[in-house]
Amino acid sequence: MYNFDEIIDRRHTGALKWESGPDGSSLPEDIIPMWVADMDFPCASPIVDALHKAVDNRVYGYSQYPEGYFDALKDFYARRHNITINEDEILFTAGVVPALQYAVLALTEPGDGVITQTPVYYPFFGVISKGNRVLLDNKLINTDGKYSIDFDDLEKLASDPRAKVMMICSPHNPVGRVWTAEELTKMQEICLRHDLVFLVDEIHHDLIRGGYKHISVMELFPDAQNVICCTAPSKTFNLAGLGVSHMFCRNKEYLKKIAAVRGYPDQNPLSLAAVKAAFTNCDDWIDQLNEYIDGNFDLFYELVEKYFPKAKITETEGTYLAWVDIRAYTEDSKAVETLLLDKYHVYIECGDAFHGEGFLRINLACPRSYVEEAFDRIKDIKL
């Protein structure tokens, strides 16, 4: 059994989550940071061992993929996601946000439209605007805290002659939906009807709450030529700082164009050693992690209902992020973020940057004692 209650002191280690506040400010020593999406759990021991071994080489030169790397990757995706992928359908990228950016730049022109579904992980907006592409916003429908897709609106946006790409998040950050096969199929049908690239960010694919099942677009549409799936071991195994991600795509022409935009892949020997171990020996860690995070959600839901009964919880199906509607208290979620941070030293992001004003996003990938301590501090606030 792994011990997810263990406290790792991440202060003064350069950890963004623990040291960097809004607008570059620093964070107080007693901060409870529940914002950026990394976890406060130690990595699984096979990963740490692999890193030690790689460090002990004492030379960290230019690297190629270590022996067995792609077999480990392919086995992992076959075992955990029912995906069959060939080596020439995989493109290495040093991060999912860069991967999305390369794809949009490679496959569209300035002025082209990219459909996405807000509220959404806010770097999506930068990916779209960077090369002067146009955001076509297929706003999600929120019915009493349950999010769904407005397919009529999607069909309309897809028929806009500017539309070239549909870029989604699956599972969805921040609303926590795990899209069903039916929803994904309807989206893909619309993409095919209107000749759109279906660009899918599956970075949260292993972080699935009890009772739900993530389905990859690579499993569901195994031969589709318009589908690009961006995956990574970074969220799953808490390796975000190591900069490793993988793009899967059956369309060799797309991969060629995207690789040309990406340029040199920038693999580094420590990251690759860690990731190979993660793909090989850490399934039990993922399963225990998800159970532990489910426990955090149970506690979180109980405490929100107890202390903030008017807040509306969106049930998280995937990711370790909670998404809470506080509009019954106030529309000004930015002011709540500031109050929680300045007065109580609890750093929770408001939804504004995600186009989710009036909401808070809370990262629950932390020892349970942090959740308890956060509520102890904030339970009496008047919103």
Ligand X SMILES: Cc1ncc(COP(=O)(O)O)c(C=O)c1O
CA 243-69-225 angle, to 5 degrees, is 80
Which CB atom, from 272 or from 378, has the smaller least distance to ligand X? 272
Kindly state the smallest distance separating residue 175's Cβ from ligand X, in Å.
Answer: 11
Closest to ligand X by CB, 175 vs 378, is 175
Angstrom CA distances, 239 to 40, 54, 199, 270, stand at: 11, 16, 23, 11
> Interface residues for ligand X in 120-149 (CB under 6 A)?
121
Least Å distance, CB 75 to ligand X, is 22
Helix (H) or strand (E) holding 306: helix 283-307
Query: CA–CA separation, 354 vs 126, rounded Å?
Result: 12
**Minimum Å distance from CB 302 to ligand X?**
26
- The footprint of ligand X on residues 2-61 (CB under 6 A) is 37
Tokens of 270: 């420590």
- Give the number of other Cβ atoms within 10 Å of residue 374's Cβ: 24
Query: What's the token pair of residue 333?
Result: 């979620």
Classify burial at 352, counting beta carbons within 10 Å of its beta carbon; exposed 0-12, middle 13-18, buried 19 or more. middle
Binding window for ligand X (CB under 6 A); candidates: 89-97, 286-294, 328-336, 355-363:
89-97
Shortest reach from residue 306's CB to ligand X, in Å? 29
Stretch that binds ligand X, among 58-66, 70-78, 93-101, 133-141 (CB under 6 A): 93-101
Under the phi-then-psi rule, with left for phi > 0, alpha for psi from -120 to 50, and beta for the rest, what region is 263? left
Q: Quick one: 382 exposed, middle or buried, by C-beta within 10 A (0-12, 13-18, 19+)? A: exposed
CB under 8 A, 24+ apart: contacts of 74-78: 75/279, 75/280, 76/279, 76/280, 77/218, 77/231
Out of 217, 240, 336, 374, which residue is the one contacting ligand X (CB under 6 A)? 240
Q: Choose one: 91-99, 192-200, 336-344, 355-363; the region binding ligand X (CB under 6 A).
A: 91-99
Q: Which region among 94-102, 156-164, 264-272, 350-358 touches ligand X (by CB under 6 A)?
A: 94-102
CB 25 within 8 A of CB 338: no
Percent of the chain as helix, strand, coil, to the nearest 5: 40, 15, 40
CA distances from 144 to 80, 290, 323, 329 (A): 33, 26, 13, 16
**DSSP classification of residue 20:** B
In the list 108, 116, 231, 234, the residue contacting ligand X (rule: CB under 6 A) is 234
Contact set for ligand X, span 96-115 (CB under 6 A): 96-97
Q: How far is CA 336 from CA 118, 283, 333, in A?
A: 21, 38, 5
Residue placing its CB nearer to ligand X in the complex, 168 or 378: 168
* DSSP state string for 68-125: THHHHHHHHHHHHH-----GGGEEEES-HHHHHHHHHHHH--TT-EEEE-SS--THHH
169 contributes a contact to ligand X by CB under 6 A: yes
How near is the Cβ of 173 to ligand X at its closest, in Å?
4
- Pick the binder of ligand X from 106, 203, 374, 378 (CB under 6 A): 203
Candidates 43, 168, 190, 232; binder of ligand X (CB under 6 A) is 232
Nearest distance in Å: CB 97, ligand X: 4
Q: Among residues 73, 125, 179, 201, which is the contact residue for ligand X, using CB under 6 A?
A: 201
* CA terminus-to-terminus distance, the chain: 40
The residue number whose beta carbon is nearest to ligand X equals 95
CB nearer ligand X, residue 169 or residue 255: 169
Residue 273's identity, in one-letter code, is A
Stretch near ligand X under the rule CB under 6 A, chosen from 54-62, 103-111, 232-240, 374-382? 232-240
**Binding flag, residue 202, ligand X (CB under 6 A):** no
- Compose the 241-260 pattern: x for residues touching ligand X by CB under 6 A, - for all others: ----x---------------
* Rounded Cα–Cα distance for residues 367 and 8 (Å): 9
Q: Does 231 bind ligand X (CB under 6 A)?
A: no
Rounded to a whole number of angstroms, the minimum distance from the CB of residue 232 to ligand X is: 5
Q: Tell me which residues touch ligand X (CB under 6 A).
A: 37, 95-97, 121, 169, 173, 201, 203, 232, 234, 240, 245
